[in-house]
Amino acid sequence: MMRTIQNIMGYKAQGKSIVVLTAADYLTAQILDQAGIDIILVGDSLAMVTLGYSTTLPVTLDDMVHHAKAVRRGVENALVVVDLPFLSYQVDAEQAIASAGRIIKETGAQAVKVEGGYPKMLDTVTQLVNVGIPVMGHVGLTPQSVHQLGGFRRQGTSPEAGAAILEQAIALEQAGAFAIVLEHIPSPLAYQVTQTLTIPTIGIGAGEKCDGQVLVTADLLGLSIWH
């Protein structure tokens, strides 16, 4: 039975851990789906893992649609979420709606993921939700901002930075996000965010106190050259 946004949001109240893995092709998606994974993320990490780029920035909307179509064909039960790639949604809400709408219409995915919790992005999330497109948020280390952040560094390590991440997460929930990825932040901060929000948190490099965990499947299997 296909998981829904409501199922995923309900897992938090039930105390059920949410399992998220990435896929960029039909076979991997089929294997993950049959294994009972809750959410299959077509992440822009495919830029690095599948296409060989050094960052996620070069991947295009066409790339994401192409791979998401293949993934969706392999899935019967998991919720499929697709990353909006760099500069396909940051200009304004109109651009974001066009990009996200294309993903939902052409791929059959159920939701999109965006990075950041700054005011303009909060408005974009609200407008996406208002037109019927479910949105997963993402705060902490946001790879599409890798140059601005000075590399893939842990975020939220000072009291001020931690408070800002908590504020962004709260604002994303208020904007209508159904879940939020917390990436590469201290475990106590991730726990504080998780306890504060009523929507699920999905951690990656954020400790074990989140409502769920996400990993890049190639990393989980030790297929990456970084292992």
Phi-psi region of 168 (alpha: psi -120 to 50; beta: other; left: phi over 0): alpha
Mean pLDDT of 98-115: 98
Which string of DSSP letters, residue by residue, matches 3-39?
Answer: --HHHHHHHHHHTPPEEEEE--SHHHHHHHHHTT-SE
Average pLDDT, the chain: 95
Task: Tell me which of 76, 106, 183, 208 is the catalytic residue.
Answer: 183
pLDDT at residue 149, as a whole number: 66
Strand (E) or helix (H) holding 202: strand 201-204
Q: Which two tokens stand for residue 97?
A: 């709606």
Which pLDDT tens digit goes with each residue over 197-218? 999 999 999 999 999 999 999 9
pLDDT at residue 127, as a whole number: 98
Instruction: Please determine, for residue 120, whether its predicted confidence score (pLDDT) is greater than 90.
Output: yes
User: What domains, with CATH codes, occur in the chain?
Assistant: 5-220 (3.20.20.60)
pLDDT at residue 155, as a whole number: 83
Cβ contact 68:107 at 8 Å? yes
Instruction: Please determine, for residue 153, whether its predicted confidence score (pLDDT) is greater than 90.
Output: no
DSSP 85: P
Active site residue 183: yes
Mean pLDDT of 26-36: 99
d(CA 152, CA 212): 21
Instruction: Please determine, for residue 227, whether its predicted confidence score (pLDDT) is greater than 60.
Output: no
